[in-house]
Amino acid sequence: MRELGHDPWELLESFGVTPPMMAQPLTPIPMAVHGRILQAAADATGRDTVGLMLGQRARLDNTGPLKLLVFNARTMREAVESLVRYVGLWYHGIRLRLTRDGGFACLSVAAEGDFPGRDALLIAYVAASVNHLEAILGRSWRPSQVHMACRRPPQVEAYTRFFRAPVLFDQPRYAIYFADAALDALRAGSDRSLDAFLRQHFRELEAREPADFVGRVRGVIADLLAGGECTVQRVAELFAVHRVTLHRRLREHGTTFEALLDESRRDLAGRMLEHTSLSVGDIASALGYGASGSFVRAFSRWHGATPGSWRRQRPARGRGGS
């Protein structure tokens, strides 16, 4: 905000963020508050690239021993997988997921819930993740494509200038694509005893996190759905259980795979209608519906309105990440 000619403190303090808190970078602030701060900053400055500007400055220094684990990894893949697995211990509410897709690695970024500034926040995390990947894979590394799950902004040049790669908007998810082979390279100077010590430390930190099996399944479903491949078999494989076991465990928690899939489709459909310019047919296809009519019927069941009429009643959001 100072770079844009604005004093940030009146805005920050209106959200309860004070100078002493800024001196403690690990002070926990709810994810939704982060989003609202970015939305307010965009409104105050008239710049819808605030999230991108913030993400460009991100480094791994605020993640404590995770930085050491990442840069002590034996291979590039171990380094990125460590980042993906453990970053949520520091940034609650953000989910990173690493998958392979036809010779490409895909690092997707998602956030729990829907709140003002959500797109700006996710754009910030995409930009931050590109910085982290460059730090791990080398300064010559660049993504092959970057996908944004929001409408095309007026200032596209700011995105292409930073990412130095094609940036596609109106996509089902926020994601970074790059050559999977880049993850196979070895890293110099890895200390296996230090790696074992750090991994034990992180496993202990994970064990202190509140157990939420249904929440974890819901997150996996949302990630797979955004990637275009969500089946009970695939979800069960990611939890290393048989699909019958997955069904049983969900029943024990009072829900079913079908119910969680329906919820995820409902939430993602709403976000895509509100935040992107994709057609109803494209959204139906992205959500795994074989025909638009099936999606329209499901949407009417969720909201009591057709997708088209629901979209017309909503204010356009997500332009440029705001």
Q: Structure tokens of 60?
A: 């791994």
Average of per-residue pLDDT across 113-138: 94
Per-residue pLDDT reduced to its tens digit, 134-155: 999 999 999 999 999 999 998 8
The proportion of the chain whose per-residue pLDDT surpasses 70, expressed as a percent, equals: 96
**Amino acid 50: pLDDT:** 93
pTM of the model: 0.82
Average of per-residue pLDDT across 276-304: 92
Q: How many other C-beta atoms lie within 10 A of the C-beta of residue 237?
A: 13
Which residue, among 187, 228, 206, 205, has the nearest Cα to 72 in the 3D structure? 187
Average of per-residue pLDDT across 154-180: 95
Domains of the chain: 19-193 (no CATH), 213-315 (1.10.10.60)
Q: Of all helices (H) and strands (E), which one includes residue 242?
A: none
**Amino acid 161: pLDDT:** 95
Average of per-residue pLDDT across 105-122: 91
- DSSP letters, 22-78, are HTSTT----HHHHHHHHHHHHHHHT-TTHHHHHHHT--GGGGTHHHHHHHT-SBHHH
Average of per-residue pLDDT across 112-125: 91
Residue 21 has pLDDT above 90, yes or no: no
Q: How far apart are CA 296 and CA 302, in angstroms?
A: 10
Per-residue pLDDT reduced to its tens digit, 60-98: 887 778 999 999 999 999 999 999 999 888 787 888 999
Per-residue pLDDT reduced to its tens digit, 193-224: 999 999 998 888 877 766 678 888 888 888 88
Provide the sign of the torsion angle of the four alpha carbons 312, 313, 315, 317, taken in this order: negative
Higher pLDDT, 89 or 176: 176
**Cα atoms in the 13 Å half-sphere on the side-chain side of 312:** 5
Buried b (16+ CB within 10 A) or exposed e, 143-155: bebbbbbbbebee
Name which of 24-33, 38-47, 54-63 the model is least confident about.
24-33
**Amino acid 322: pLDDT:** 37
Neighbouring-strand partners of residue 154: none
Q: What is the mean pLDDT of the chain?
A: 89
